[in-house]
Structure 1
Amino acid sequence: MRNAGASIDPPPDPYSAVRPDKSNPSSGTPSSSSSGSSSTGRRGRSGDDKEPVSQPTRKKLPRGVSPLPPGVSPEVFAPTPPSSSSGRPPTLPPPSPPAEPWPMTGSPRVRWSMDDPAAQPSIVMVPDPPGRRSRLRRMLILVGGLAILFMFGYCIPATYMWGKVLPGTQVAGIAIGGMTQTEALDLVHARFDVNDQRDVPLLLGGRPVGKIRPSEIGLAVDAQATVADAETGFPSPADVWRAFTGRRELPLRLTSNQVKLAQEIRKVAQVIDRPVREGRIVYDGVTPRLIPPREGLALDRRAAEEAVKAAFVSAPSSAPLSVTTILPKARENAFAPFMDDARRAVAAPILLTNGGRRATLTPAAVAANLVFAPGEQGDVGPRFDTHKAIGGLEAGLVGVAEAARAAGFVIEKDTPKLVPARTGKGVDVTGLNAALARLMEHGGRRVIPVSLALTPPALTDEDALGLGVKEKVSTFTTTFRCCAARVTNIQRAARLVDGRLVKPGETFSLNDAVGRPESSRGFVSAQAVQGDRLVLIMGGGISQLATTMYNAVYLAGLEDVEHSQHVIHIPRYPPGRDAAVFYPEPDLRWRNDTRYGILVTAEATGMSITVNLWSTKLYDEIKAETSAKTAITPPQTFTYDGGDCVPSDGAPGFTVTVTRVFSKDGEVVRRDQPQTMTYDPQARVICKGDRSLTSDPELRRTPPAGDGSTPTATPSPTGQKRLKNKNKDKNSESVKNPKATPNKTKNIGNPAPKAKPDKTATPNGNGNGNGNGNGNGKK
């Protein structure tokens, strides 16, 4: 191809694209500017004044369509501004500086030009005020500081404490903080595992009253549960704060056999407790005597249990016990105004009349049934058992055929038979009581007319049959030698007890049933055990009835409310199962804790006494298991010179344990708490001269060696042992043991006079039967 050469066409006009179209006002360029631009362009092309070349006709664009490519601004092709008045050629504006990024320190604001509708919105950054930037800076510093503080104050210490007991933690004074759970367990075991082998002494007012071995009551430290209370997980902020600022004391977890602990505390309570004694005016014969009131004591058992646990934790240590004082209903000065009334009541016999019928109420009968005692509200007044006092006289005042009769039982062919009740006449007890009260308060004529009233039977046939008295539930017999004076007392007491009916829930009292032993009531002076010697007292021998009845009650499974053992063991009684009584105390009391009635029958011959109890059997067999004799103690020897001296060969003392066992359907269903009894040695007594009294041969002889006793004995250098009894009362005739303890029954009776072995001494026992405090119970 050949070279075509230069183009003969004129160069294009660069302004032609933006030259205004008069028909198109949207071009936005004024016509003067267009013509100027065209002239300048022509000069720029040819450099001479030639006539313009005709331009080709341009095609008009639709309205609103720009001829420029997208993104090209029309200002680029704008004509050069006109020259200034100075005639200098126009100069272009200086070039724009290079673009720099605007520092965005303020809030963005949108600016819109309202002059140019086609203009686009632009964003202009307006800087914030100086105060706002300062607050933001402080806030950032604060947040950063808190974060650092949180890290060093909580996160790092919590990470260090994780998996360990928190610092400052203690258990019973032992610091376990900072240890692992295993280390804390080992430390708790090492500190407390030996405590269960250390006895805990029990103190009352600084005086020892017993001790408890923790291992026997299952008292121990539960180390696992104790350490488990010290949480070893990731600690919370509160835990970390407590670890730095305080001390945490964890409770020591203990385990124990609560039943055995309560039993041990109950044993101690039976030694400490002293029942409250209400004051009363009673009669010694027919002489009124005041028995002053006495405060009672009761061990605070709940506090005692806590004291034992606290002493166990801090072992070796002792447990201080506390007691509660029980006040009597009336104070001693409340009885003084009634002493004159008591004297007037027995000043002379009282004659009861019913028309032509007469009966005499003797001073002794009044004294035996009258007592001045406080009521429920503490008001002191006479309490006269009218029914008992006139029980033997009512038939004479009313007539046997007309008197009311309660239902009862008789034994026929070894079976109880009902004796029907009968409604009849009886003495108006209310009127008689009012007349007796006036007589005691004001005196006067001692003749009281009685009135009669229709009296229902005290026990109806229906009620008697509902008591379930149908078979013999227990029986017991003891023997004695014939014809001694004490046999008279045993037979007389047996007749007073025979036929007694004890209803469910009632408590039987032997002293209440027999009453005061007096010659006017058929009793005589006979031998009885006082301390560890034999003396003569009025009614001696009734303790044999008490022992026989106690064993019948024991084998019937009934509740023992009160019984007292002899100081020395009497060979004819089973070891650990004897009972001593003396009016009015000590007494033999038992409670019918069954749902059936109990009929008591007693029969005394010239050589034995038998007590039977009739009711409904609850068990097939009840028996006593008796241990071998232990702690055998030899007797002492004493020489006395006195008219009431009773010689004795002596016998050793010993300790024995008895347990009651209940069987039904061939199996043991119950075992009572064992009872441990200790007997003192029976002193060997030598009476000087020919004035000594003849002793019961059975009491004189030494028990055979086969029963665990020692036939020969050596005098003890300690002298005669003084009787121990917490309820000794210098104002009463005897010493009372209020309740048989489960494990040890206290000896009863006042001590014999102190004397040295093989020396002459005068005994302190009275043989006249006045009961002035020298007998411990009737044998």
Structure 2
Amino acid sequence: MKNKLQAIRLRLLLSIILAFIAFLSLVFISYHLAYWQKIYPGVTVLGQSVGNQNLETANFTISRIINQASPSANLTLTLGEQTWSLELRDLQYQPEKTAEKAWQIGRSNNPLKNLQEKYEAWLGKINLPLEYSLDNAALDEQLDQIADQVFVPMIEPAIKIDAQKQIQIEPGKPGLNLDKIRLSSTINSRLTHLNFESIELLTIQISPQLTEKQIEETRSRAEKFLNKKITLINNEMTWELNDEQLIQLLSFTNGFNQEKIASWSANLASAINHPPQNAAFEFNQGRVTQFRAAKDGLSLEEQKTINLIAHSLAELENNKETITTQLPIIITPPQITTAEVNNLGIQQLVGRGVSYFRGSISSRIHNIQLAASKLNGLLIAPGETFSFNQSLGEVSPTTGFQQAYIIKEGRTVLGDGGGVCQVSTTLFRTALDAGLPIIERQAHAYRVGYYEQNSAVGLDATVFDPTADLKFKNDTPTYLLIQTQIDTRNQKLTFELYGTHDGRSVIISKSRIWDQAPPPPDLYQDDPTLPAGQIKQIDWQAWGAKVAFDYRVEHNGEILQDRTFYSNYRPWQAIYLRGTGN
């Protein structure tokens, strides 16, 4: 009897459970059938209920919200007293898309997420913003323009050496930048909520963030680099990092500023790097009409250079006074060498001379270019004595030369070929550099400023046919080729001699100066080519002096040349042209 009673109770309990489940299922099905084409209850858009509405009704409700707000086509941005009007180009609110998003609440492919969203909607916790579209590219462009106006660059901390050789630390100044990401987010939030009130710009302060301890530690480190330097060598070229430059490579947070070292190394690489150059040679009617010397390609190993500079800095900081080191450079030979394109023995550069003509008038520059071009490509045979005047030929208007100022009978006057002596002076220096015997050379009557630009005094050679010539002899076993280069931008003239280097060495002493005499008073000369009253300086005062330098050439222990060149310069006054023309 007892067992029967328990069985009845169990069946009754199961019936109640099944009935309850059936009831819940009926409620669940009825609920979803009721909202099959409707938004679930509790969903709102900007606080306005769209629950229990189909898509069409919700669309109407949302459109009414938008229309009542009367959306603006602009937003005002402010920063202090500055204001900007931000054009909301092509702003279009999308009620249909917003209604669709509301209808999707509780209708995803995730049952648990659906249940959670329906529960939150029932509690009134789902309040959707409006969907909209606009020209984002135009908005971005306007924000970039505003960012440029707002931007204040940060002044980096700086280390300097003052006139008293004391280290000065400038802590820098903070900068200002527009927080474009946060501003874009704020604009989006305002538009989705139909809020067109002005927006205060959000900015980011960029600060050097140096502490007093960092400043003092850096000052102490910088003092260890005073009067020190790093010298980097590549064949005949050198680069120096002096104490002013070295302290710029210090990091305020200890160690060295790798970014600045890398930047300096990259700039150095751009000055050094070049591909290999194959030789070219064409000979026509006794003159070389095309010549290009073979050159090795050079490539600076930048990472090794960065490491080298960092290591050298560390050594200087540890009390080493100066460092001289070879740069790590990869050399790539050309495929065609100079020797392979000719049978005259012209293989390499054997001598170079340089002079500057800054301050020259246009006709003088023209004459320098013309004279240099007439000598370019000339060949000097073994044993031949080269004559400048003979090789240059007649200097007159009929051969293309213009009038420029020359020294004649103790006066500065307009004469044909003014500036030719710039060319002879440069070639004289080239012959000296090549170690050739100088057969004839005359110094100018007075010191000419052009020939002492970046040069020692006494290395000039005047020419005037037929009284003054520059002559030298090719005492090498092969031909010599003259090549000229003129850089009008930097007003620089270069002569090069190519041949075969036979191993001779050249020593040119420093110039010795004595018996100096002050210049006479300034000289003014009338010039009808200048307007009346105009004054033009064409010569600069120079002290008179006697100058000498020694020239010694050796080859395999034999002395080929051992002589002294003398120059006797008389004092020279500044010369001005005084206009007398109409």
Question: TM-score over 0.5 for the alignment?
Answer: no
What TM-score results when the alignment is normalised by the length of structure 1?
0.29
What TM-score results when the alignment is normalised by the length of structure 2?
0.37
Which structure has the bigger radius of gyration?
Answer: 1
Which structure's residues are more often strand, by fraction? Answer: 2
